Structure 1
């Protein structure tokens, strides 16, 4: 079924493997032949004088991930439906690794339609070739495989991976990537007794193909049917066949919690316990204590929980936020040697009216970057004084909704994105951009013009410091993500943005993160340096909106065309569309 053999994949990258491979523990089974070939490639690379920045220890360790993506029957809400499994698992395997590890994931597509997975929540430095979005890569066709190579360079934290093609995200293929600090970097809390990965999300009883047909017909997919915790929707009083977590009295545990849903913000809490926030989207935070926490679509964070209650069962509770009729799911957290079921009285959700939005907004304001903590790199995080850098460009992003030829479309400033047959990144790299798309259809300021449906690409200047304003004129909350970058989330406020609102910015210790939510009829401001060359996707995390055009790509080109700024296109990169079969341009030179 897979004519492109793994041997060919490895062989074509023999000089790249020493740069990309590293030590990374694996939760799924490994093919022994893959490990042996990597070992041979590594030895050959060393013998040819290839130098690497980071050591590659444990040659015999589990360093290679083989992921077989298949369909399987699942029933998160009790209704059997077609799901997407990775190595038969749902959720998918954890990637559990350490800062600066190099990771190789060989993805085999056993589905009946093209597939892409994105692991770009971690900033793939100089490597947008493998962002896993249709604008940067050719999809993995049915019966074929592709090998992702990337490094979690100078990063720590909790991240999601998931499919970006079609409505696959509504069917599974989702998992968590945990990046630990290196031993030489002090962490601002004691090592927990154990860690638990918790993936929350809303869910539909309709299958992903049915949802896609609804959107293709011009309709909305409507309200989700329920909430799931690690793809299960427990109810109060259910007999827990398997607890979410088991804790021992007196010990402290780390819960890495992500919201992988399609629409709903989720509030989570642990019955009878408080939670200490320690990490938010790859940044150590000031360690505030919360009874419950709002987590918006696409976001991840870590909390510490101390098992200091009577030994018995307790409910981990997740409920949708800002919905007329909130959905609720529970999972059991069990004390070792505990005696007794969880109480049926659940801790309350913060109010759902405007006071609830004010509560959530105040919680956002309480999130602060821990300036005294070391990051994944040896330098203190607070050494980057972003508040003293001059802004060179302000881009205002407004979510728009319209009917185009009678069909529902979403967009940014009136431009609704569509993916061309040729990925934007490849068209640009081969010098054929003018045959595939036009730059700068969307303007930095929203224009009151008829909706345009076209590939949406914005030109940006390498290493410029930009301010992005997200303005939400609708009654539902929005969440946005920018691939390849972390940005400083300096403000979220009600009303409309204007330049005088900059006086409300936190220019000292705003958390560096990669998603930002915007409350109804509110705005959010972020700042970032565009120092990661490539074609980067800025998108809504509400996947109905993403699929129907609420996204754009930011082209950040290095004028030097140097390996210092961006890797060359991998030898194994798939080509499609108008670039299929073309000779590759002259590689970038080193410095």
Structure 2
């Protein structure tokens, strides 16, 4: 794969299909001539962790549309690689990872759920963060890591504890509901030769509804500017220090409840409608006429009246696009951009204003494709528009409700929805 390394997972983008289990891990390794910025681990493990509902995805989609601010919370479990928690009352299998004392292992962790962020930790073990979604990070030592919907991380874990079995826990983060053991994902770190099972309470994590701890951690995740990645030159050689912004989109995430009692997520009070004709086919055959509306999406304002439709907005080819993602809800937003990775330059509380740019990190901003927006807050990303085509900007937990965003193209054809 050209110009890409890192930890990812594949998933369908629409109609709750990801909730049906349509996902899997992707590892993209460095070329042999490019060293990773850490010693080669003894082994690597994929952890696909996420909330799972007893409801089939079609029923869950219908229920979701009748709920306000987040959809169904009940009948959820947190699964690790599709398996129930250790010591679950149903006696279903749990996930386990075997390690050898003194060796170091790489855990590639992805949140494949549809609703819940989780806090990941391993009993009595330190986590060394090294990579996220294709970007090597400055290495920081953590007791636990918040992983938001759609995000992927790599951490190194050294088996330096006495030979035993230890809990691996993934518990809801940024969560205000009463504690619920069904929402705790639990696996086992098994030291080779151990005959002792984990027992007692799970390792304590941060307070589950404390956004400041989570946002402080997010700000601490920065790019390793000197590491080689997909190419032999340092990944920091392409950065935003001197970026000249060509366009700014201000996208406000919200929800709307119509007279029909159906619930919709919206961006700038517009909810995207998936057409029966694929956008690129419509573009090729009829320049999109009758299928989508080009450059009618309000990229810097919010419509006074809620609207549904298929919109495509244009970007400037090989220009820098600033996207300000604003969250008016009391719950988390999660945004994912297909076809691109972006520089996460800022997080903030309350209203965004041009003065907020003074707080941006344009020195060593992390590069990724999925980002969280904290309740009643904003997140800003910079995107270099060098990949012509039509690309989805997914919003609202990737449950399949997404909206037009923008499109670069060297030709009249639009590039990104």
Runs of at least 5 residues in structure 2 that lack an aligned partner in the other structure? none
Alignment correspondent of 1:505: 360
Partners of 2:67 and 2:101 in 1: how far apart? 54
Q: Kindly state the Cα deviation for residue 554 of structure 1 after the two structures are TM-superposed.
A: 2.8
Alignment correspondent of 1:179: 28
Tell me, yes or no, if the aligned pair for 2:83 and 2:94 is still in contact at 8 Å: no
Partners of 2:271 and 2:207 in 1: how far apart? 34
Q: 1:437 to 1:167 in 2, by over 3 A?
A: same
Tell me, yes or no, if the aligned pair for 2:130 and 2:137 is still in contact at 8 Å: yes
Tell me, yes or no, if the aligned pair for 1:398 and 1:472 is still in contact at 8 Å: yes
Secondary structure class of the residue paired with 1:460: coil
Q: Give the aligned length.
A: 406
Equivalent in 148, 159, 164 of residue 307 of structure 1: 159
Secondary structure class of the residue paired with 2:98: strand
TM-score of the superposed pair, with normalisation by structure 2: 0.93
Aligned alpha-carbon RMSD (Å): 2.0
Q: 1:409 to 1:237 in 2, by over 3 A?
A: closer
Q: Deviations over 1:239-279 (max 9, x none)?
A: 79565210000000000000000011110100110000000
Tell me, yes or no, if the aligned pair for 1:262 and 1:543 is still in contact at 8 Å: yes
Alignment correspondent of 2:311: 456
Partners of 2:192 and 2:406 in 1: how far apart? 50
Residue 361 of structure 1 pairs with residue 211 of structure 2: no
Q: Kindly state the Cα deviation for residue 446 of structure 1 after the two structures are TM-superposed.
A: 2.4
Equivalent residues in 2 for 1:35-434 (5 A)? 152-215=1-64, 221-224=71-74, 225-236=76-87, 243-323=95-175, 324-326=177-179, 327-353=183-209, 356-406=210-260, 407-434=262-289
Tell me, yes or no, if the aligned pair for 1:481 and 1:541 is still in contact at 8 Å: no
Rg comparison, structure with higher value: 1
Secondary structure class of the residue paired with 1:434: coil
Alignment correspondent of 1:558: 410
Alignment correspondent of 1:525: 380
Partners of 1:392 and 1:360 in 2: how far apart? 31
Q: Which moved more, 1:153-162 or 1:303-312?
A: 153-162
Secondary structure class of the residue paired with 1:435: coil
Tell me, yes or no, if the aligned pair for 1:530 and 1:556 is still in contact at 8 Å: yes
Alignment correspondent of 1:69: none
TM-score of the superposed pair, with normalisation by structure 1: 0.66
Alignment correspondent of 1:117: none
Partners of 1:243 and 1:385 in 2: how far apart? 39
Q: 1:173 to 1:237 in 2, by over 3 A?
A: closer
Larger RCO (alpha carbons 8 Å, 6+ apart)? 2
Secondary structure class of the residue paired with 1:474: coil
Runs of at least 5 residues in structure 1 that lack an aligned partner in the other structure? 1-151, 567-591
Partners of 1:325 and 1:552 in 2: how far apart? 36
Q: 1:448 to 1:216 in 2, by over 3 A?
A: closer
Secondary structure class of the residue paired with 1:430: helix
Tell me, yes or no, if the aligned pair for 2:299 and 2:405 is still in contact at 8 Å: no
